[in-house]
Amino acid sequence: MPLSPEQEAEITEQRNAPQQTLRAVSDGMEAHLYTAYPVLDHGFIRVVDYMGDDAAICQAARVSYGKGTKSVQNDEGLIRYLMRHWHSTPFEMCEIKLHVKLPIFVARQWIRHRTANVNEYSARYSILDREFYVPAPEHLAAQSETNNQGRGAVLEGAEAARVLDMLRADADRAYDHYEAMLSPEEGRGLAREIARMNLPANVYTQWYWKADLHNLMHFLRLRADPHAQYEIRAYAEAMCAIVADWVPLSWQAFSDYRLGGAALSAAGLDCVRRMIAGETVTQESSGMSAGEWREFQAVLGQE
């Protein structure tokens, strides 16, 4: 498990010291609280704190106190209505705080989601560990020939071994120089804030990341998508499992309308109506560009 002894001791202490509370509690989330789930080769994700549950979303939408006479079925229907019609503010009533250990290049993708509160491990103050992300062989792929920001065929044999050797050797050499600059044999060590600049983007960092449920779901819609980069998708999928237990009604609605649903343009909707009426629609008669038509066909399962 990629945790320090101090972190393991802290987690054990937290899990063995339950607190009484009058606030809303999600039994599903309580089972996850403080537990660190491994991601990639040295990373992890764990819930440090959370606020709210499915009932809190419904309460905010109704602007009422307590559960009243509303049934679970009514709550489920309301949540699905809110999700279906993009009424996002009630979902902002729930929040989650995560402790994440991740490679720096993944963190730089992640930080593009600016609607969150972040506090990252400071390499100006502390020394980074000798931990680097190196892809598993099945995730070592060539550049895609059709997607400028995607992967193609998996590298194999001698070609894969050569790349893995270079990744490991470059990371170790950079860290050796990092250590040497911090603690030279003679004189004073280089300032940490300067020495860190020589480290590669696959070195691990850590942060606390807090977001409300609405913005978390926006993150997951993009980063749990099959087209997202594998490394950040691995973290998103771990988060999906946690959210599904935290707010099961909201998760089901999100899965149906966001992850499993699709949006159509006016031209796409017009094409669907024409197809239902029995018309044969082609790209030329659709009013769409070639790229739009390919995406439209993919939505309909007609690639």
Catalytically active residues, by annotation: 223
d(CA 131, CA 204): 6
d(CA 219, CA 299): 21
Contact predicate 53/67, CB 8 Å: no
Burial class of residue 259 in the structure, from the number of CB atoms within 10 Å of its CB (0-12 exposed, 13-18 middle, 19+ buried): middle
209 — phi, psi (to 5°)? -130, 120
- Tokens 């926006």 map to which residue? 218
Query: What distances in angstroms separate CA 42 from CA 76, 123, 138, one per listed residue?
Result: 38, 18, 17
User: Which residues, 6+ apart, have CB-to-CB distance to 120 below 8 Å?
Assistant: 107, 205, 206, 207
Cα–Cα distances (Å) from 189 to 125, 183, 185, in that order, read: 14, 5, 9
